[in-house]
Amino acid sequence: MTDFEPVIGLEIHVQLSTATKMFCGCALSFGEPPNTRTCPRCLALPGALPLPNAQAVHFGLMIGMALECELAPRSIFHRKSYFYPDSPKGYQISQYDEPLCGAGRLGDVRIHRVHLEEDAAKLVHAGGSGRIHGSLTSVVDFNRGGTPLVEIVSEPDVRSAEHAREWLTLLRTTLRRLGVSDVNMEEGSLRCDANVSIRPRGATELGTKTELKNMNSFRFLERGIRAEVARQEELVRSGGNVVQETLHFDPASGAISSLRSKEEAQDYRYFPEPDLVPVLITDAMLAAARADMPELPAARQERLEALGLTADSARQLAWRAELGDFFEAALAGNGAEPQPLANWVTGELVRRIGDDDPAVTPLAPAALAKLVHMVAAKAVSTGNARVVLDRLVAEGGDPEAIVAREGLGALGDGGELDGLVDAALAAHADAAERIRQGNAKAIGPIIGHVMRETQGRADGGEVTRLVHEKLGA
């Protein structure tokens, strides 16, 4: 059976968090009453002209720099025609063959281009189900219309659904670091379409692609691509051909349905926007963008690796910037070793907070650093430290105080542990015998016994040392 390789390119739309809209002075809208953030320009009243937003150009240049793009010294806006009530001018002002940013790269995926455009207004379908089909009337809220967007188009370098998700995470982190967008998929400030095709592994030419629209979460993106790759593979294996079309993924049912075929593709009648002069990028604009550039994930990963972190830890902390921020804050004052601290952040902490930002939990970075230090100093066992972390994440506080209050401190060296180990060896004579014969794994029941007796306060390493000492093994 032929082995297929998915070939995926992503088209990402990002709402910029500028002060005002792309082509007028209206403030961006955050849930205000409908049609209260509008003016003659964004309503496309007769005679009104667009005015480009300098901050959006600035953000666009920052994004271009972060994605290592070629920055065009001169770019122009085009009109992209389409008739729909969410498009008050009857065209969207976008960029076409002279975009703001050309070829670039982020991580292992090449960037094709980055350009500026404006968002559409929002249609609200009243009556029926609230969706367009079966609704009785539709009304338009122009508050969102004209919000600045950048469209980022990747080359078809993505090779799996997981890869798409992982890379989009990196892109989101990068954009969040830049401070140019909220990059929230659920709220629509980050939107992703995927161009998906398959080809026999090893082939170089591209197969026919389909365009999968608007998957509004990272999970749906991954599931949608996986479903489409599977659909194409099954189609080709059964002797069929992939047809170029635009597809909709329904996350509820997992079904993929066709929105329109290639023949129904719209003719956007692009032509240069005569109401706007070309955007000329001056050295001063480039210098201003450069001055506003924060440290980006790739550079941060390198820096974290230089601290002695493994590549994997460094990448996890760099690509989820909020984890990196928490890690670096914890590392700052409390003498915890970097790698154990990183392990606690990317392991135990993430297990407790999921996709949340640790900064919004009651856990203070210094408290985690102290806890990790206590583990290293054998003041608390690893197992009990996990219990302490549960408390810290839930209610904050000082790990030392929690250990003292709840009696979770490790047993010191000396007699108490000695006696407990003796008792355990006696209770598990068969295990002791196997250890003596060289089976190191047999120690489990003995350690378990000691831990039970001490409610986890014993140090596993110390127990192991004592067992081996006593058995001469």
Partner 1 sequence: MSTDPTTLSAGGAIAAVRAGELGRAELFGAYRARAAADELNAFTWVAEAPPADDAGDGPLAGVPIAVKDLFCTEGVPSQAGSRILEGYRPPYTATAVARLQAAGAPLLAKTNQDEFAMGSSNENSAFGPVLNPWDRTRVPGGSSGGSAAAVAAGHAPWALGTDTGGSIRQPAALCGIVGLKPTYGAVSRYGMIAFASSLDQAGPLTRTVADAALLLHHLAGRDDGDTTSVGLPEPVIVPTAERLDGIRLGVPEELSGEGIEPGVLEVFRATLALAEELGATVAPCRLPHAPYALSAYYVLNPAEASSNLARFDGVRYGLRVENGGGLTDMYTRTRHDGFGTEVKRRIMLGTFALSSGYYDAYYGRAQQVRTKIAEDFRSAFAHFDFVVTPTSPTVAFALGAKVDDPLAMYLNDFCSVPMSLAGIPAISIPNGLSEDLPVGLQLAGPAFSENRILDAAHALEAAIAFDGSGGRA
Q: Minimal distance in Å, beta carbon 194 to partner 1? A: 24
Binding mask 208-247 for partner 1 (x = CB under 8 A): ----------------------------------------
Tokens of 455: 């409610």
Task: Give the closest residue to 271 by CA, choosing from 113, 115, 71, 94.
Answer: 94
The residue range among 275-283, 309-317, 405-413, 421-429 that interacts with partner 1, by the rule CB under 8 A, is 275-283
A 10 A CB-CB count for 459 gives 24
Among 274, 354, 415, 472, binds partner 1 (CB under 8 A): 274
Rule CB under 8 A: which of 49-108 touch partner 1? Answer: 49-52, 79, 81, 83, 85, 88-91
Among 269, 405, 436, 465, binds partner 1 (CB under 8 A): 269
Q: Distance (Å, rounded) from C-alpha 438 to C-alpha 433?
A: 9
Q: Distance (Å, rounded) from C-alpha 198 to C-alpha 226?
A: 12
Among 48, 256, 307, 366, binds partner 1 (CB under 8 A): 48
- For residues 40 and 362, which CB has a smaller minimum distance to partner 1 in the complex? 40
Phi/psi zone of residue 127: left (φ > 0), alpha (ψ -120 to 50 degrees), beta? left
Task: Give the closest residue to 374 by CA, choosing from 366, 363, 385.
Answer: 385
Tokens of 251: 């996350």
The residue range among 42-50, 98-106, 216-224, 365-373 that interacts with partner 1, by the rule CB under 8 A, is 42-50
Q: Distance (Å, rounded) from C-alpha 39 to C-alpha 166?
A: 40
Tokens of 129: 């189900």
Instruction: Count Cβ neighbours within 10 Å for each residue of 189-210 and write b for 16 or more, e otherwise.
Output: bbbbbbbbbbbeeeeeeebebb
- For residues 23 and 220, which CB has a smaller minimum distance to partner 1 in the complex? 23
| Amino acid at position 420, single letter | L
- Contact between 275 and partner 1 by CB under 8 A: the answer reads yes
| Contact partners, residue 190, CB within 8 Å, separation at least 6 | 12, 13, 14, 15, 172, 175, 181, 182, 183, 184
- For residues 73 and 85, which CB has a smaller minimum distance to partner 1 in the complex? 85
- For residues 124 and 359, which CB has a smaller minimum distance to partner 1 in the complex? 124
Q: Minimal distance in Å, beta carbon 49 to partner 1? A: 5
Rule CB under 8 A: which of 139-178 touch partner 1? Answer: 140
- For residues 97 and 406, which CB has a smaller minimum distance to partner 1 in the complex? 97
Number of residues that bind partner 1 (CB under 8 A): 29
Among 47, 407, 415, 472, binds partner 1 (CB under 8 A): 47
Q: Minimal distance in Å, beta carbon 81 to partner 1? A: 6
- Contact between 43 and partner 1 by CB under 8 A: the answer reads yes
Q: How far is CA 291 from CA 3, 55, 64, 150, 285, in A?
A: 48, 14, 14, 20, 10
- Contact between 45 and partner 1 by CB under 8 A: the answer reads yes
At 216, is the secondary structure helix, strand, or coil? coil
Task: Give the closest residue to 70 by CA, choosing from 48, 102, 31, 37.
Answer: 102
- For residues 190 and 279, which CB has a smaller minimum distance to partner 1 in the complex? 279
Binding mask 277-296 for partner 1 (x = CB under 8 A): x-------------------
Q: Any alpha helices (H) in 354-395, and if so which ranges?
A: 365-376, 382-395
- For residues 47 and 415, which CB has a smaller minimum distance to partner 1 in the complex? 47
The secondary structure of 330-364 as a DSSP string is HHHHS---HHHHHHIIIIIIHHHHTTS-GGGSS--
- For residues 45 and 359, which CB has a smaller minimum distance to partner 1 in the complex? 45
- Contact between 276 and partner 1 by CB under 8 A: the answer reads yes
368 and 398 Cβ atoms separated by less than 8 Å: no
Q: Minimal distance in Å, beta carbon 32 to partner 1? A: 19
The residue range among 181-189, 265-273, 342-350, 373-381 that interacts with partner 1, by the rule CB under 8 A, is 265-273
- For residues 276 and 353, which CB has a smaller minimum distance to partner 1 in the complex? 276
Which residues contact partner 1 (rule: CB under 8 A)? Answer: 40, 43-52, 79, 81, 83, 85, 88-91, 138, 140, 267, 269-271, 274-277
